[in-house]
Amino acid sequence: MTSEFAVEMRDVVKKFITPEGNEMAAVDHVTMQIKNGEFFSMLGSSGCGKTTSLRMVAGFEWPTEGEVYIEGKAMGHTPPFQRKVNTVFQNYALFQHLTVYQNLAFGLEMEGAKEDEIKKRVGRALEMVQLTGMDRRKPKQLSGGQQQRVALARALVKTPDVLLLDEPLGALDLKLRKEMQLELKALQQQLGITFIYVTHDQEEALTMSDRIAVMSKGKIQQLGTPVEIYERPTNKFVADFIGESNFLEGKIKSISQNEASVFVSSINAEVVGLPISKGLVKGEEVIVSIRPEKIHIAEKDAINQNMFRATVTNTVYIGVDTKVFVDVHGAKLKVWEQNRISRLDPKSFYTVGQEVWLMLLPENTIVLRKD
């Protein structure tokens, strides 16, 4: 390995001309460094620039500005067939007129490998994805899951430095998708290859990734480990996009080195002892964000700060959790309570109109800049 980073994007911009003739930046000044052997995901909804970023690494698109580096080498206008990366396509793009064996052998023939070597490597790749014996089938004779494995094997047989995956599990049903997620992760760890994975499915990204880049409107909103992204979102978009959050608008009342007190006008109360990120100042308008499963419901007024009187407006039982919707001085909040106890007794649910106390733990509560 010549470089610390398998792939690096430095200040990359990709502009397209829309059919109306306007210029649009699909990728807008993106910088990221993907380490060797890392499982890296780009997560975002459609049109966020994740696929365009991946295609620029593969070489199907060239940046309008900035540069893509693979193994420390600037790629410039290097065509795809001269890059040591391989792609698993969303629709698999298996060659329908060739057999499974020929599909896998194609890339090796391009390297000029000898026939017996091709045979050996194709055999090993098929074994790896558990498709031994399928080599003479045509892609159309395989199930969706099997086609997906062929696409994976076709890319991996080339032993690339970096494997690019563009929503590879999107076409599979939920159960198979979950199996494949774990299988892909295990395969990546076993091979030690860098995976760059594009998905719009946050659970998929959280399950598999070492690090995730959350993208929106061509920009990286946050880049970090799954835990960081979920527990410490750095802006409202990420807090809202990943999982669910309650947002309360407020103003910083007092601030110390790493704690702040925020006056939340909508509930007419002060939340104290909140951890803060740098750059926030006293008097600034902020958003207090807290995940629904991190709010505790207490029935009695315990001796604690950050306790608020609330009225239950609705409860919904969804098996794993019970969703409790409450009203705090007119502010609507959602609270997820895990069903650790049996709910067979109807009395175990909160009743509509019941008065409860909500407890916010400062370490679970995030202060975000208002944008």
Q: What does the binding site for other proteins look like in residue numbers (CB under 8 A)?
A: 58-60, 79-81, 85-87, 89-91, 93-97, 106-107, 110-111, 138, 140, 154-155, 158
Q: Cβ closer to other proteins: 162 or 172?
A: 162
Q: What is the length of the chain?
A: 371
For residue 283 the two structure tokens come to: 């008097």
Enter the DSSP assignment of 26: E
Tell me the helices (H) and strands (E) count for the chain, helix number first: 8, 20
Q: State the Cα angle at 321 between 318 and 327, rounded to 5°.
A: 95
Taking only Cα atoms into account, the Rg of the chain, rounded to an integer number of angstroms, comes to: 25
Instruction: Decide if 125 contacts 113 (C-beta within 8 A).
Output: no
Q: Cβ closer to other proteins: 93 or 191?
A: 93
Rounded to the nearest 10 degrees, the angle between the axes of helix 174-191 and helix 144-156 is 20
Q: State the Cα angle at 241 between 237 and 245, rounded to 5°.
A: 85
Q: Cβ closer to other proteins: 98 or 297?
A: 98
Q: Cβ closer to other proteins: 84 or 343?
A: 84
Q: Cβ closer to other proteins: 60 or 317?
A: 60
Q: Give whole-number Cα distances, 206 to 33, 202, 230, in Å.
A: 19, 6, 9
Nearest distance, CB of residue 120 and other proteins, angstroms: 18
User: Quick count: other Cβ atoms within 10 Å of Cβ 263?
Assistant: 17
Nearest distance, CB of residue 366 and other proteins, angstroms: 41
Q: Cβ closer to other proteins: 150 or 335?
A: 150
Nearest distance, CB of residue 22 and other proteins, angstroms: 15
Sheet holding 285-290, edge to edge: 269-275, 259-264, 246-255, 285-290, 365-369
State the Cα–Cα distance between residues 213 and 219, nearest whole angstrom: 10
Nearest distance, CB of residue 204 and other proteins, angstroms: 21
Nearest distance, CB of residue 96 and other proteins, angstroms: 6
Nearest distance, CB of residue 180 and other proteins, angstroms: 20
- DSSP assignment string, 102-144: HHHHHHHHHHT--HHHHHHHHHHHHHHTT-TT-TTS-GGGS-H
Q: Cβ closer to other proteins: 98 or 280?
A: 98
Nearest distance, CB of residue 15 and other proteins, angstroms: 16
Of residues 167, 193, 162, the one with CA closest to residue 180: 167
State the Cα–Cα distance between residues 37 and 169, nearest whole angstrom: 21
Of residues 286, 262, 257, 281, the one with CA closest to residue 360: 262
Nearest distance, CB of residue 93 and other proteins, angstroms: 4
Q: Cβ closer to other proteins: 17 or 174?
A: 17
State the Cα–Cα distance between residues 243 and 8, nearest whole angstrom: 28
Nearest distance, CB of residue 106 and other proteins, angstroms: 6
Q: Cβ closer to other proteins: 53 or 246?
A: 53
